[in-house]
Structure 1
């Protein structure tokens, strides 16, 4: 399965040339991961933090293919490309504009990598590409 979401390109995303300033894409990739957790796993980052858990990004790779401009509405997709014991690599795409790989690590209160909770693992596996 693939998670999808539309993100409009707004003024706050753009540089003076009117195209997306490249660090804003990193924010949009994180937006996709965060909303995937809310919509699919039913667990928000706020709930995660309140429970003393975390999911920091350990690696982020982005290929920039084509600029996006103010007013564009990009259709984004997210799939789980790799699922490890305590990590996951998400393949995130915005049409023909960018392709990103975001690797996250599940952590419990002691800030050490921990196995994915079983309820999450099953849902992550359903989105494995």
Structure 2
């Protein structure tokens, strides 16, 4: 399963050198994860406020390849690499005009926000993460 979205590099995203300040990539990555869950019908309002489920990042490793600049539109692709009982390993790739700018290996964990520990992915969500079509 993979998911794609875009992010425009804004003035607030760049440093004095005019390139994306590295923590801003992580904010864009988090927004892409939020958009991915929303596209599966599990927006963060439903998950966090109603279901009391979070998906914190527990591991993040990034390689910065080519700088991104103000005004560029970045293509962000999330690719599920491995789905465990409560974890999900992703490869997130940022590119612009077919040039890879950054890739990150990310592990998310499904978490009970009230009890503060990991839980199994909900049965209704797991097939969506796996990219399976869920019967209506």
Matched, 1:83 2:88: no
Give 1:6's aligned residue: 6
1:107, distance to aligned residue in structure 2 (A)? 1.2
Q: Point out the more displaced range, 44-53 or 113-122.
A: 44-53
1:32, distance to aligned residue in structure 2 (A)? 1.0
5+ residue gaps, structure 1, are: none
Matches within 5 A, 1:64-75: 64-75=64-75
CA RMSD of aligned residues (A): 1.2
1:118, distance to aligned residue in structure 2 (A)? 1.1
Give 1:115's aligned residue: 120
Provide TM-score, normalisation by structure 1. Answer: 0.92
Give 2:31's aligned residue: 31
Higher strand fraction (1 or 2): 2
Provide TM-score, normalisation by structure 2. Answer: 0.88
Q: Point out the more displaced range, 94-103 or 47-56.
A: 47-56
Moved beyond 4 Å, runs of 4+ = none
Higher helix fraction (1 or 2): 1
